[in-house]
């Protein structure tokens, strides 16, 4: 089963890191990604641009509004994700515990359903 490991954090903290801290964090992520690859569990992942670059679409009936910025003001924002393969939630949790980040949301991926035709 596929799971998304969604990484949340404070963008102000991320932006305040010096070059050494950035390099060390990148190295930890490289080690994590290598571990996933060794287990054939890596399906993808990316760092996201700052929340201020987001565009939010809201639909209410037939009305659609598009606004700049994230959906809600919060100190913790989605900063990146990994898409992994794991046998079950327990394995996904075990893998996520090795991520070098403070807050990780684990979400199962809904399999693509057939068209029924």
State pLDDT tens for residues 87-100: 999 999 999 999 98
The Cα 89–Cα 40 span in angstroms is 16
State the pLDDT at residue 6.
Answer: 96
**Domain annotation covers residue 116:** no
The answer to whether residue 33 is domain-embedded is yes
CATH number of the domain within which 41 lies? 3.30.70.1060
Q: Is the pLDDT of residue 69 over 80?
A: no
The tally of domains found in the chain comes to 1
Q: Is residue 114 part of a domain?
A: no
What percent of the chain has a predicted confidence (pLDDT) above 90? Answer: 69
For residue 117, pLDDT over 70 is answered with no
Sheet with 76-85, side-by-side order of all strands: 42-47, 76-85, 2-10, 103-108
Predicted confidence (pLDDT) at residue 115 exceeds the cutoff of 80: no
Range of the domain at 9: 2-108
pTM: 0.85
């Amino acid at each position: 089963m596929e799971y998304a490991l969604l990484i949340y954090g404070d963008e102000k903290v991320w932006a305040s890191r010096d070059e050494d801290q950035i390099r060390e964090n990148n190295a930890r992520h490289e080690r994590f990604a290598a571990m996933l690859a060794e287990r054939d569990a890596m399906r993808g992942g990316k760092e996201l641009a700052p929340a201020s670059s987001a565009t939010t679409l809201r639909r209410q009936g037939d009305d659609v509004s598009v606004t700049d910025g994230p959906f809600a003001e919060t100190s913790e924002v989605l900063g990146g994700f990994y898409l992994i393969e794991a046998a079950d939630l327990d394995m996904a949790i075990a893998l996520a515990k090795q991520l070098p980040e403070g807050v990780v949301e684990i979400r199962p991926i809904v399999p693509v359903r057939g068209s029924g035709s």
